[in-house]
Structures are given as C-alpha cells and as structure tokens.
A and B are shown apart, each in its own frame.
Chain A
Amino acid sequence: MLWAALVSFIIVTVTFVLLSFAPNPSIQEAATQAALQGGDPAAAAERERELRGLNEPLHIRYMDFLQSVYTLDWGWSQYRSQPVTEAVYEGLYYTAQYSVPWTILTLVLGPLVGLYSAANMYSWKDHAATGFAFFGYAIPNFFFAIILLLVFAVWLEWIPVVYNANAAVFSLENVRQLILPVFVLVTGSIGGIMRVSRNESAEFQNSEFMKTARAKGVSPIRAYLYHVLRPTMVPLSTTIVGQLLALFLGSSLLVEIVFGIPGLGRITYEALVAQDTNLVLGTTLFFTFIAVVGNLLEDIVFTVLDPRISYDDR
C-alpha cells in the first residue's frame, strides 16, 4: 500500500519536473497574440506567467501541483470547455463499456484455454490453441482492428462503420458495435495468459496430488478446475495484471481511435493534438493511477492465493 503510494508520488513528481522545464504553450500563445495585435510580446508573456502563478518559486509551485493532483482539482479543459475531471468521467463511461466485457472474457477464457491446451498436450487441439495464441499476441491490435473493420463493416456490412455514442448500454445496437473492439482486445491479451497457464498447469497435472485425486475417483472436471487451476493461478496472477494493464494503456487508445469510440484514449489523443495541457495531464495521470492500483491489486491477489508469500518485510 505504501509502495503504491510512493510510486504514484514519484510519477507525479517526474511529471512536474517535465512540465516545469518545458516552455508553456499558453505563454507562447499569449506572446504571439500580443505580437499580432501590435503589443509587446515580452510584457504579455510576463503577464501570462503571473496569471498562471509561474513566477512563484519552484517549491511552492510543486506543493500547489501536488495538492491539486491529490485533491482531484485538475483544472479546466479549454478544448472541451468543461472541467478535466468531468471529461475524464465522460470518457470513462465509454471506455468501461468495452473494457469490462474484455477484462472478464480474458480472465475467464485465458486460463481455461490454457488448461484445455495442457490437458490435450501435443494434440492438434493444443497446436490450434497455441497457434491462435501466438497469432493474437503478434498481430498489432490496431492493424487487426482496421482489417476486421474493413471486412465486417465495409464489405459484409454486418456491423455499423460509425460508432453511435448515444446507443443505450444494454441494447443490441451497442453489443453489435462493441463486439469487434472486444474481440480485438481479447485476442491480443489472451495469448500471453494462455501460454503461461498452459506451461504452469502442465507441470501440475502430472503431480502427486493429481494422481491421488484421480485414484480417489474425483471427476476430471473437478480435478482440473479445483486441483490444477488453483495452483496455476498463483504464477499466472503475476502476469495477468501487468499484461492487461500494458494492453489497456497502449492499445485501448488505438482501438478507440480506429473504431471511433469517444472514450478515454480518444480524449487523450485529441487533447494531445489540440495542445490542451490540462486535459493531457489529467488523462495521463488517470491512466497512471490505474496502473499503480493495478500493480497493488496484483500484490494483494498474490498473497490471497498463496498464503506462503507475505509482504510484511516491505
């Protein structure tokens, strides 16, 4: 817990350092404005600096920055004409609509496919599953999304090309327009999880306790689900969160842009293009906190699943 807080603190500090050493676009803008209107650019820049509190000494600005970050006072987004927190919240509404089904599907399917693959090791079923995992792992998500959109939306016209932001969350229309993004993300994330769970459960299914269970006449389904899957989940949980997060942070941005979903990733991208510093900061900080919390959850899940591991010494 302390560690997560410390990491988030370090990241916020790095962000501040990065920001404070860079020329602020709004100052340049003010200077350009003044020059265009025949005024004195230097004076305008100075006025803008004063207005934004940039004349204060560094440590005071740092304290201000820390305070506003942790009290969720993230400023005003000029590009969207609304507070940054509100923009993040609105984006989250769309991002969650595909992230939740995607996470659940990956968490359920990944270990199960791996288990199935391990149970049928070196058969054609195993090879097919492994091949599928490698395919999903290696194909760039945005490229795959473009191809699927071309085939299913443009050529076959099974799904709409343009995302309708007003569709109700639990409607058939929403399911139809979210099925491709979810599919792309699940194929991307399932591969790594499937491979780890295959290798780990292969180790456990020949173990002594499985032989005992079989000898006692435990049904195969129960044996696999209860005796193999559970120890497999321990090493698996270390990779799951990390992989999901990496994908969430990187690919959701791309997938949202390709499919035109007005979620968090798209907001980040538009803020980058529109030079809206507050919004860029807000969304990146939000993603960062998700990453930190994810890592924390991973540690907690680890100790719950395997009581032998303790983090007391940290």
Chain B
Amino acid sequence: MATENQDRFDRVDWDEIAASRGRDLSVNTLGMLAFAVPLALLGLYDWRLVDEREATFGAIGYDIDITSLEYLFVFTLLLFAFYLVLPLYQNPRRTKHYWTEFKRNRPAVVSLVWLAIVFVGGLIGPLLMNAPQQDILISHQPPVYLSVDQANVANCVGEIANGRCHGTWEYPLGTTNGGRDVLTGIVYGMTTTMQIAFIATTIVAVVGISVGTVSAYAGGWVDEVLMRITDVVLSFPTFLMFLLILYIYGAGIGMFILVFSGFAWGGTARYVRSKALSISEEEYIKACRISGANTYGVVRRHVVPNTASSIITQLTLLIPGFLLFEAQLAFLGIGDTEVPTWGQLISAGRSDLAFAPWIVLAPGIVLFLTILAFNFLGDALLDALNPEAQAETDQ
C-alpha cells in the first residue's frame, strides 16, 4: 500500500490510505509485470516466428537458444524475487525477526549457504563453463591431490610418479570414462536441480492454494468433489504412473516436473482449506467483511499470508523427493538424456566403481548434501516461521 513504514502501527499514514482507492498496483506487481511481459513477448516470438531449429537470438547474431523449460524457470525466478525476496526487503523488521529465529539453528544456516552455492552455481555456472565434452583421450583422470594406478588411465594428463597417475587442477574432480569433466557435469546438474526445485514448487503452490481456497469458500458439492479429487491425488502412486507415461509416450524433464508436481499438491490443498475455514471464523475477518472486503481481498490479504509459512515448509520438504526421483530415473537410464543431471553422472561411473570411485562419489555426495540441506532448511523454517509449532516441540 502507500505507506513507507508498514511495520509500525503509529506511523501509518491513514490519510494516504483513505485517499488511495486500493486500485493502484504495488511495487511488486509493477516489477513483476515489467519483467514478465517482455519475457512473455520473447516467448511468443520464439514460439511463433522463430524456426524450431534456429536459436532464439539467432537473428541478432547470438547463438543462444532458450527452451520452454528455461522460460518457465525464469518466470518462477521472477515470482520468487518479487513476491518472496522483495517483501522481505520491504519489511526489514520482520525479516530481522525471522533471521534471529533462523540463526539459532546452526545446521540450517550451513544448509542455506550450501543451497545458495548450488543456486548461484546453477544460475551462472553454465555461462562461465563450456558444456562437458566427450574426449576419450582424457578418460578416467583422477581428482586433484589423488592418484590412481597408471594401468587404469590410458592417457595421464598430470604427472606420473611411481607408476601412479596424479590428478591436475585442470580436472579438479577428475573425468568420467568418456572423458567428461566431473566438476562441469556437477555444475550443469545444479541448473537442472534448481529448475526442478523452482518450477515444481511454483506449480504445487499455485494449484494447492487455488484448490484449497476455492474448496473452502465455494462449499457444498464443489468442496466435496474437490476434496475427493485431493484424496485420489494423495493416494496416487505417482512414480509408477510416471513409469507408464514414460513407457508409452517417452518423457523429458518438463513432463517429469509436470507429472510429479501435478500429483504433489494434495497436502497443500488440504492444509489451505482447513486454514481458510478456521480463519473465516476469526473476529478480524468478520470485521474485514463488515467494512466491505470482498472474498478475493480476504483470501489475498489474510488467508494466503496466514498459510504461507506452512506452505513454504511443506514445499521445502517436497523438493528432496522430486530430486531423488529424478536422480533415480536418470540412474536407471530412463530419464531425460538431453539435460545433464547428477543421477546420470552416478550411473555413468557405476561400471568403473572399483578403480574410479570419484565419478560416483562426487555427484552422489553433492546430491546427498543438497537433499540434507533442504531437509534441515525445512525443519528450521518450521521453527522460524511458525511459532505455534515451535511451542509444541519445546514442551
């Protein structure tokens, strides 16, 4: 709204609020529109005017192609920036409070740092590094500071001492049997990981919140039908269904995200519905109603913010599951072979496990740490954002 300091009640400029009609757009919406509209136009241009085999920026001389998944990814990043990060900046006092709560949980802070590394690495890593290339001449190079029996390496790049091949800084984490650099593979895998995490959470949140609020406010048979659908979604064996879809149609990473997030919103929807029902009985909602707030206003200003903390927690705990399934499919060799993932690296190194364990270990440990970090983060967020839950565990 139109006040500079929302966090202090006595500083609210009531005249300004009375003067505004509640129709002008907030900074967040304006910023979102400023970036999303060009993105949508670019997407439209790419979809309708550019030949499928041609790169998006081919016309002006850049050989950069944007896939539909990347459009979605950028869009969700914008959503997060303007509706999650910017509000935190706008309310420094609340942010500070969350941070002090959050800081008490030391593993969670470490997790956040690790996830920030993965996030930044996934965003800018592919811009700085070239995609991993096959090069049979440099296969099975050991990681730096480690050495491996010379008999296992056809062509040692580093120095050879006592019949053992030593690793070099050129390939800090070694190379695979095809001569791909493991570190580059991991960085490229970060991008895929982040795409899965962001797009899937956005879909789950949007569908879950919509179904939950519609169900709570519509009531009657709409509520009944929506909740029965939610029950089915909750007890649906998604992994098997995805195997079937994969078998019948073949599926890429985009399909993977769609199917898994399409069957993961059940818990969120149920929670939002119960919260919306309990909130609508509160006194302040009645006061809002009497002063003329419509249902959309109540949902937007009170129901969603009240459920946000729990939804964020739920989503943080959902992501590890997605990542795990993706890695499993990639490991089986039936995932998307077009995008580089950690699971692929793990499966690539399996046959050479006995003498080249770094190919499996490096991406495996990165995957393990990422899943662990998401779990710790979810636990810490539960404590920081939800004082009631904390009171329960402190008992």
> Residues on A close to B: CB < 8 A?
3, 7, 10-11, 14-15, 18-19, 22, 134-135, 137-140, 142-143, 146-147, 150, 154, 199, 202-203, 206, 245-246, 249-251, 253-254, 257, 268-269, 272, 277, 280-281, 284, 287-288, 291-292, 295
How far, in Å, is B330 (CB) from chain A's closest CB?
A: 10
Instruction: Give the distance in Å from the alpha carbon of A287 to the alpha carbon of B242 in the complex.
Output: 13
Please name all residues of chain A whose beta carbon is closer than 8 Å to the beta carbon of B328 when the two chains form the complex.
140, 142, 250-251, 253-254
Q: Is the CB of B332 within 8 A of A3?
A: no
Contact bitstring B359-386, A, C-beta under 8 A = 1, else 0: 0110010011001100110000000000
Partner of A272, one of B243, B249, B395: B243
By a CB distance below 8 angstroms, the chain B residues around A284 are 240-241, 243-244
Cβ of B325 < 8 Å from any Cβ of A? Answer: yes
- Chain B positions within 8 Å of A202 at CB level: 393, 395
A-contact 0/1 string along B247-263, CB 8 Å cutoff: 11100000000000000
Contact A203 B331 (CB under 8 A): no
Known pairs A138-B372, A140-B324, A249-B240; list 5 more (Cβ under 8 Å).
Answer: A138-B375, A250-B324, A257-B332, A287-B237, A291-B240
Are A291 and B237 in contact (CB-based, < 8 A)? yes
- Tell me the nearest residue of chain A to B320, going by C-beta: A138
Instruction: Please name all residues of chain A whose beta carbon is closer than 8 Å to the beta carbon of B324 when the two chains form the complex.
Output: 140, 250
Q: Which of B9-17, B191-199, B202-210, B350-358 contacts A (4 or more CB under 8 A)?
A: B350-358
* 14 sample A-B contacts, Cβ–Cβ < 8 Å, listed by A number: A11-B236, A14-B241, A138-B371, A139-B368, A143-B327, A154-B354, A203-B395, A246-B239, A249-B239, A250-B239, A284-B243, A284-B244, A287-B240, A292-B235
- B389 CB, min distance to chain A CBs, angstroms: 10
Q: How far is the CA of A58 from the CA of B395 in the complex (A)?
A: 60
Q: Does B334 contact A (CB under 8 A)?
A: yes
Q: Is the CB of A288 within 8 A of B245?
A: no
Closest residue on chain B to residue A292 by CB atoms = B235
Q: A150, B353: Cβ atoms under 8 Å?
A: yes
Cβ 8 A contact of B235, one of A7, A22, A253: A7
Is B113 an interface position by the 8 A CB rule? no
A-B contact count (CB 8 A): 106
Instruction: Report A261 CB to chain B, min CB distance, Å.
Output: 15
A277 to B243, CA, bound (A): 12
Chain A CB within 8 A of B231 CB: yes
Asked whether any CB of chain A lies closer than 8 Å to the CB of B392, the reply is yes
A243 to chain B, nearest CB (A): 11
Chain B residues within 8 Å of A291, by CB: 235, 237, 240
Asked if B190 is an interface residue, CB under 8 A from chain A, the answer is no
Partner of A203, one of B236, B248, B350, B392: B392
Minimum CB–CB distance from B369 to chain A (whole Å) comes to 8
B residues less than 8 Å from A143 (CB atoms): 327, 346, 360, 364, 367-368
Complex: chain B residue closest to A280, CB-CB = B247
Tell me which residues from 37 to 60 in chain B have a Cβ below 8 Å from any Cβ of chain A.
Answer: none
CA distance A10 to B234 in the complex (A): 13
Query: In chain A, what residue has the closest Cβ to B389?
Result: A199
Cβ-based interface call for B136 (8 A) = no
Q: Which residues of A contact B246 (CB under 8 A)?
A: 272
Least CB separation from B332: chain A residue: A269
B197 CB, nearest partner CB in chain A, Å: 15
Q: Are A272's CB and B327's CB within 8 A?
A: no
Residue of A nearest to B237 (CB): A291
**Is B120 engaged at the interface, CB distance under 8 Å to the other chain?**
no
Q: Which chain B positions have C-beta within 8 A of A288?
A: 237, 240
Q: Are A254 and B332 in contact (CB under 8 A)?
A: yes
CB atoms of B350 and A134 under 8 A apart: no
Interface flag for B232 (CB, 8 Å): yes
Nearest chain-A residue to B376 (Cβ)? A134
Residue of A nearest to B229 (CB): A10
Docked CA distance A251–B239 (Å):
10
Residues of A contacting B371 in the complex (Cβ-Cβ under 8 angstroms)? 138-140
Asked whether, in the complex, the Cβ of A147 is within 8 Å of the Cβ of B235, the reply is no
CA distance A188 to B168 in the complex (A): 36
A268 CA to B357 CA, complexed, in Å: 28
* Docked complex Cα distance between A143 and B248 (Å): 28
Residue of A11, A143, A150, A203 with highest tally of chain B CB at under 10 A: A143
Closest to B354 in A: A154
Check A140/B327 contact, CB under 8 A, given A15-B244, A147-B364, A284-B240: yes
- B350 near A199 with CB under 8 A, answer no
Choice from A11, A137, A272 contacting B247 with Cβ under 8 Å: A272
Residue of A134, A206, A292 near B372 (CB, 8 A) is: A134
Contacts of B350 in A (CB 8 A): 146
Q: Contacts A146-B360, A150-B353, A199-B393 hold; do A272 and B334 have CB atoms under 8 A apart?
A: yes
For residue B113, give the distance in angstroms from its CB to the closest CB of chain A.
17
Bound together, the chains give a CA A311 to CA B166 distance in angstroms of 66
**Are B248 and A19 in contact (CB-based, < 8 A)?**
yes
A288 (CB) vs chain B CBs: closest residue: B237
- Whether B244 pairs with A280 at a CB distance below 8 angstroms is yes
6 smallest CB-CB distances across A and B, nearest first, come from A138-B372, A143-B364, A22-B248, A291-B237, A138-B371, A295-B235
